[in-house]
């Protein structure tokens, strides 16, 4: 007697059992995982584009690397690392959003429009504010380490 493992029986609610093709569920699971892993590829494409085309993003990466090196050198506490990591992440995320917004504005409004320029300026101001906050946090953390 051959056993078919591609089917299972599911209770129908009225105590009857219905055969269900398990291959359908396996295909669906594989499809979901494929889409999930493909989304990482799209995200890395976005990062690659930002690194290649955005000078400010590269400067923020360089600054982040310098701060991490300084943190290793000074021996930051866990809480200080959390603060530094959150600040780095905030600045990077806002820089990526600013880049995406600039691309979208260029797509929607290829000709000059004052409001399109204002949208870009406000997005850049958000990045600037985050960078200033990150600098203040870094000063609070690193200045006492070098002054004592």
Q: Which residues participate in catalysis according to the annotation?
A: 95
3-state secondary structure 64-107: HHHHHHHHHHHCCCHHHHHHHHHHHHHHHHHHHHHHHHHHHHHH
- Maximum C-alpha span of the chain: 82
**Pairing between β-strand 7-11 and β-strand 17-21 as defined by DSSP bridges:** antiparallel
Phi, psi values for residue 14, rounded to 5°:
-105, 30
Question: How far apart (Å, rounded) are the C-alpha atoms in residues 135 and 140?
Answer: 9
d(CA 88, CA 135): 10
């Amino acid at each position: 007697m051959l056993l078919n493992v591609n089917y299972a029986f599911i209770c129908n609610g009225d105590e009857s059992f219905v055969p269900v093709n398990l291959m359908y569920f396996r295909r669906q699971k594989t499809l979901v995982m494929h889409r999930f892993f493909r989304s990482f590829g799209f995200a890395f494409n976005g990062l690659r584009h930002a690194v290649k085309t955005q000078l400010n993003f590269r400067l923020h990466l360089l600054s982040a690397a310098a701060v991490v090196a300084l943190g290793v050198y000074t021996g930051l506490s866990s809480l200080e690392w959390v603060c530094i990591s959150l600040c780095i992440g905030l600045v990077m995320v806002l820089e990526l959003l600013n880049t995406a917004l600039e691309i979208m504005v260029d797509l929607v409004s290829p000709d000059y429009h004052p409001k399109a320029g204002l949208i870009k300026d406000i997005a850049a101001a958000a990045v600037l504010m985050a960078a200033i906050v990150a600098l203040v946090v870094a000063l609070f953390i690193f200045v006492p380490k070098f002054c004592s």
